[in-house]
Structure 1
Amino acid sequence: MSTVTDYNGMKVNSGSTNEAGQLVENQVPEEQPPQFDVRVSTDNMAAYLRIKPAYSGQKITYDDVSAALTQQGITYGICEEQISLFCREGKFYSEMICAKGIRPVDGTDGFLEYFFDRNVEFKPKERDDGTVDFRDLGIVKNVKKDDVLCKITPPQDGTDGTDVFGNVVPFMAGRFPTMPTGSNTVVSEDGLVLTAGVDGCIEHTKSTVSVSEVFYVRGDVDSASGNINAIGSVVVQGDVREGFSVKAGKDISIRGMAEGALIEAEGNISISNGMNGMGKGTLKAGGNIIGKYFENVILISENDIYADILMNCTATAGGSIVLKGRKASLIGGSYQAGQRIVVKNIGAPSYTTTSVSLQSKQLSDVLTVGKDENSVEKLEQKRIQAQNELEAFQKKFTEITAQANLIGHSDSGRENLMMKAALMKKIQLNEAVKAIEANIQKTKETQSQLFDYKIVGSSIIYTGTKIVIGPFTMNINNDYSNTKFHAGPDGIVSAPVLPSDLP
């Protein structure tokens, strides 16, 4: 029989009796476990430990702590060294981190890379020599079809984490940017690249990138806009001021007027109110030039020039110069067209020197046809000679045929060869006559085209006008009324204007 006494946190067996009934003292401790207070952070990424020993000096080991943490389900990121040190130092009433999870590494966001300057603060362009061109502000951002506008770099994956309970904590994926698709743009099959669908200029906002085939200047072309150089068409809603330039890969349309500027287009140029070039303004068009009034301007068009008045200009048109309107006048200056000049008035009552000319390769070819050995007269002589030879041989051919018929089917190889040779000769002479006749017809048709190359003054061509057509020159010493001029075989010929001569 024994009794148990609580002694300073230990339960001690105070005594037992032997067979004689005597009390025998025997101290056998029964160890009481310490109290483990474990606190876990709200995100389960850290565990904190505080230990309350059952009695002073109680020995607590790493294994005791590990068992307690396992009982709590904390199995990952155990801080072994820190726990061991904590147990050795015995600072049990202070709190320590006993387990650490690994936080997930979130994925990085995808991003857009632009292949053009998005800056809207236009600055003067610096030249190679270090000087600054204050008229070149780079306002137009040109792009060709299939050029890359922007590209998406996709989000990068992150890394999963693990909490102190051993659970996987997934990373947060990065955001995929939105492709800024606009008009006339093309998205690649993988959705990562945006390219231009047409030649044009870039227009962009915060959320879209577009390509426009027409660049609009909302006001004047001046120091605020700088020079304009577009791969597509250009529409200027105001004027083009002196000293500035507008260049376009297609058409140029100016709603106002132009001053002493340089305007170049691979297509047409249209100026609503015309241009005062101030002696230096220049228009160059791969198509037509159209305007109301041009003064002191250099005009170069590969096709036609249409206007109401051209005054003191230097104009060259690959096609025609046609003036319409109430005045339709060429006054002073020099004007050259490839085919026609059609106006009401050329020159002025004050005998202002005005030169009009027709020059082109086609005109030269027409004037060359029928000259010397290829003239209609020479060809007619050749045709008569060839016809006479044919008629003379025809008589001989008849005699050969008759002789062959008399011989009949007799075995004469010589006569057969003669018959074949005569027949071949007759065919050759016939072909020669036909070829000369065809050449005569072609020459006449070509020469008739000279009437298409003409200078028409449906009202008055004033004294002082100089007319040049191909190699021929004619100075007007008297006023002509309702007269057209074209080249003849030996010089310039005049004739009355017919309705068919007017556009």
Structure 2
Amino acid sequence: MSESSAGKFKRFFGGFGARDKSRDEQPTETGPDEQLPETSLDEQMPETSLDEQMPETSRDKQVSPAQPTAPQAAPSEPSPPAIEEDAIPIPLDSPLAEIWKKWGQPGLPALSSLAPAQGGLDIPSKAMKTSAIRILRELLPLAQRWLTMERVFTQARAAQEAQNRAAAQAASVKSDESSSAASGGEDPIPSPSEGETAAPGGESPASFAPDGEAPVPIPVEPPDVDEMAQVILSEDGMAAWLFLLPPSGKGKRLTVADGQALLREAHVTFGVDQRSLFSIFTKKPYFSLCPVARGTLPMEGKDGWTKEHFPRDFSRFTGNEDGGTVDYRAQTCVQVIEKGTVICDIYPPTEGVAGTRVDGVAVPPKAVNPAPVPAGSSTVLSEDGTKLLADMDGFLDFRDGKFHVKNILNITSDVDYSTGNIDFRGDVTIQGDVREQFSVKATGSISISGMVEAASVEAGGDVVISAGVSGNNQAVIRGKNVRARHLENCTVYAECLESDYILTSRIFCSDSVVAAGSRGSIIGGQVVAVNRIKANSIGSQSGRSTEITLGVQPEIREELHTNRKELASLRDKASELLKRAMYLKKRMEEQGHEDRRSAAEIQAAHGSLVQMTEREKSLLARQQELTEALSQLHRCRLEGGTVYPGVRLTIGSAIRNIETVAHNCTAVFDTEEMDIKFV
């Protein structure tokens, strides 16, 4: 016996539903390690068909397994279902295909789901497709068991009919001999031996008693094959089907209770559809996979995620001017960011919900992961961990999968159309020039290796210009401390200024101006400093007009003038309000009763007077500061190696026009004489 045949034989008696009534006991499943007989099933059982073994007189009376008109195929039962497109094809050499043919199913053998026809549980055909091999493998023992019982039935009937024919022939011979003896024949008629039978007329087997009584018919009682069923689970355990094979002869029909017992044996305890179960055992849809239970799939969670407020790949922004024209200088090459700005929002993961298989086993959802936070240098998480913040002012750079905040912006080229204007919160280093009509702004310091043309440079810290400024009377430089190789035709606002030479420029410093170096010259233009101006030479031999101002900036004088003017106007308004309030009060006293309108006007005037009083105090305090600044003239000094004619020197209110060349001079303000004095 081949190994495949042995495996089939071993599975014939391994399931639920097949019972041999002649033995009235349930077959037991052969263990995997038990030895099987060496002879095959085909050698043990004849292959003669039922029609060949049955006499013609009894064929029409017996049940043929291949005919659906047998007693079990009552009119109330539905016809076999048609093959669907998504059905599982059954191999033609499979036992299931043999049963299909015997039962008279139309078309090629295939397994399909009857969920829509049952009107109950709907299991996706994908679950059936992915479990096709499992389904066919589990149905093989059931089909083999059905065929085994059917062949046993056929063999038993053939043997019984052969015995009946022999008994009928013997009975016919006995009857003929008895008739001959009664008529005086020569041959004696022997008495029938015990156990011999006869079938008069060949219609049914007969038995004769020893005393010659009439023969007794022997009934033919072949064993029946019960209706069989199998519970099949999908590969993932999320679906369960019931598969029915029809009964043979007068085999037992399964009931809903039998189906429930099958489900319990298969450990199907969850998601059972009782309506589908009842429909299966009522309509008997043989050769079909009938959905009976369905599990619940786990609801997958969601990984944590981030919502970024800045692009990773920064595209330079181009500003639009009025009239629809594009200002390419207004574009910026970096993403400027302030401390505390939210770089991205961080959302926590959402946990999933576990599912349940049909056997009651929980199916956990996939594990969820926290959001990958792109936190780089100079970034910090918020206290609740839901935001990524900038930890300092600077520009935002995305690199190596993370956001970094840097406070030093390094421009390796010129500031021109390739970079656009620079506006940065931090320090800026420019290795090239700042071209005409462009601007550089920074909250920190600015260092420029090249030259500044007719451009704007503004820093909250120091400004260092290595190659100097050629401003064409348009460049403006602002910073705390400004150092430049030279300054030509530009305007500078600073606290302190250092340069090799200053040519026809406007300089305003709140502390000092120093023109040192190989040239150390101030020629032309206007230079204003509060405390000190120092240069090797001031003016030129040609007598170019050069204005030098010490003591106080014009802005302070203008502010003091505005302060005094506002204070006078405020006092005039307060006086008018006070007079109006006193007049209204006196009029109400003369009338002897209160006038609501006048009382409201007096109240409003009183509130305005209070505000004016506070403003007056503020103006007086500022005026005192400005006056003290004007009184610091004794600290002013002009230090010049050579001062040429054409220089106009102003210290405080004193003015001196230089008419002759002065060497190694120092000019100060004489507070007693209120005039400029050279020492």
Q: What SS does structure 2 have at the residue aligned with 1:292?
A: strand
What is residue 387 of structure 2 aligned with on the other side? 193
Aligned ranges 1:23-422 → 2 under 5 Å: 32-55=225-248, 59-126=253-320, 132-285=326-479, 287-301=480-494, 303-360=495-552
What does the per-residue CA deviation read over 1:352-387, in whole Å, with 9 as the maximum and x for residues that have no partner? Answer: 21111113179x99xxxxxxxxxxxxxxxxxxxxxx
Structure 1 distance, partners of 2:522, 2:357, is 92
- Candidates 493, 496, 499, aligned match of 2:677: 493
Q: 1:315 to 1:490 in 2, by over 3 A?
A: same
Structure 1 distance, partners of 2:633, 2:22, is 143
Q: Would you say the 8 A contact 1:86–1:92 is kept in 2?
A: no
Matching residue's letter, 1:457: G
Q: Would you say the 8 A contact 2:206–2:215 is kept in 1?
A: no
Q: With structure 1 as the length reference, what TM-score do the two structures score?
A: 0.72
What does the per-residue CA deviation read over 1:84-126, in whole Å, with 9 as the maximum and x for residues that have no partner? Answer: 4444443311223332221111111110122334341213134
What is residue 434 of structure 1 aligned with on the other side? none
Structure 1 distance, partners of 2:663, 2:631, is 24
**Alignment coverage as a number of residue pairs:** 408
Deviation of residue 297 (structure 1)?
0.6
Q: What SS does structure 2 have at the residue aligned with 1:134?
A: strand
Structure 2's unaligned 5+ residue stretches are 1-20, 25-61, 64-149, 158-204, 208-212, 558-628
Structure 1 distance, partners of 2:451, 2:218, is 126
Deviation of residue 186 (structure 1)?
1.8
Deviation of residue 133 (structure 1)?
3.4
Deviation of residue 264 (structure 1)?
1.0
Q: Would you say the 8 A contact 2:481–2:496 is kept in 1?
A: yes
Deviation of residue 63 (structure 1)?
3.2
What does the per-residue CA deviation read over 1:418-447, in whole Å, with 9 as the maximum and x for residues that have no partner? Answer: xxxxxxxxxxxxxxxxxxxxxxxxxxxx99
Q: Would you say the 8 A contact 1:155–1:173 is kept in 2?
A: no
Q: Would you say the 8 A contact 2:244–2:284 is kept in 1?
A: no
Deviation of residue 214 (structure 1)?
2.1
Q: Would you say the 8 A contact 1:323–1:344 is kept in 2?
A: yes
Structure 2 distance, partners of 1:289, 1:233, is 15
Structure 2 distance, partners of 1:448, 1:126, is 50
Answer with 1 or 2: which has the greater Rg: 2
Q: What SS does structure 2 have at the residue aligned with 1:135?
A: strand
Structure 2 distance, partners of 1:103, 1:29, is 49
What is residue 422 of structure 1 aligned with on the other side? none
Deviation of residue 309 (structure 1)?
0.9
Deviation of residue 27 (structure 1)?
9.5
What does the per-residue CA deviation read over 1:198-254, in whole Å, with 9 as the maximum and x for residues that have no partner? Answer: 222222225222222222223221111111111222222221111111111121111
Structure 1 distance, partners of 2:410, 2:435, is 16
Q: 1:277 to 1:475 in 2, by over 3 A?
A: same
- Candidates 451, 461, 473, aligned match of 2:655: 473
Q: 1:32 to 1:127 in 2, by over 3 A?
A: farther
Q: Which moved more, 1:486-495 or 1:333-342?
A: 486-495
Structure 2 distance, partners of 1:88, 1:255, is 95
Relative to its length, the structure with more helix (as a share) is 2
Q: Would you say the 8 A contact 2:304–2:372 is kept in 1?
A: no
Q: What SS does structure 2 have at the residue aligned with 1:42?
A: coil
Structure 1 distance, partners of 2:420, 2:377, is 26
Structure 1 distance, partners of 2:259, 2:451, is 92
Q: Would you say the 8 A contact 2:509–2:529 is kept in 1?
A: yes
Q: Would you say the 8 A contact 2:270–2:360 is kept in 1?
A: yes
Q: Percent identity?
A: 31
Q: Would you say the 8 A contact 1:309–1:327 is kept in 2?
A: yes
Matching residue's letter, 2:243: R
Matching residue's letter, 2:425: I
Structure 1's unaligned 5+ residue stretches are 366-445, 496-503
Q: 1:448 to 1:47 in 2, by over 3 A?
A: closer
What is residue 463 of structure 1 aligned with on the other side? 645
Q: CA RMSD in A?
A: 3.6
Deviation of residue 341 (structure 1)?
0.6
Deviation of residue 308 (structure 1)?
0.4
What does the per-residue CA deviation read over 1:317-367, in whole Å, with 9 as the maximum and x for residues that have no partner? Answer: 1100011100010111111111111000111222221111113179x99xx
What does the per-residue CA deviation read over 1:139-182, in whole Å, with 9 as the maximum and x for residues that have no partner? Answer: 33233333322221011011111112110000112221222222
Structure 1 distance, partners of 2:262, 2:437, is 89
Deviation of residue 31 (structure 1)?
6.7
Q: What SS does structure 2 have at the residue aligned with 1:136?
A: strand
Q: With structure 2 as the length reference, what TM-score do the two structures score?
A: 0.55
Deviation of residue 29 (structure 1)?
9.7
What does the per-residue CA deviation read over 1:375-405, in whole Å, with 9 as the maximum and x for residues that have no partner? Answer: xxxxxxxxxxxxxxxxxxxxxxxxxxxxxxx
Deviation of residue 277 (structure 1)?
0.8
Structure 2 distance, partners of 1:263, 1:334, is 20
Matching residue's letter, 2:636: Y
- Candidates 637, 640, 645, aligned match of 1:454: 637
Structure 1 distance, partners of 2:678, 2:397, is 56
- Candidates 665, 670, 673, aligned match of 1:483: 665
Q: Would you say the 8 A contact 1:15–1:26 is kept in 2?
A: no
Matching residue's letter, 1:277: G
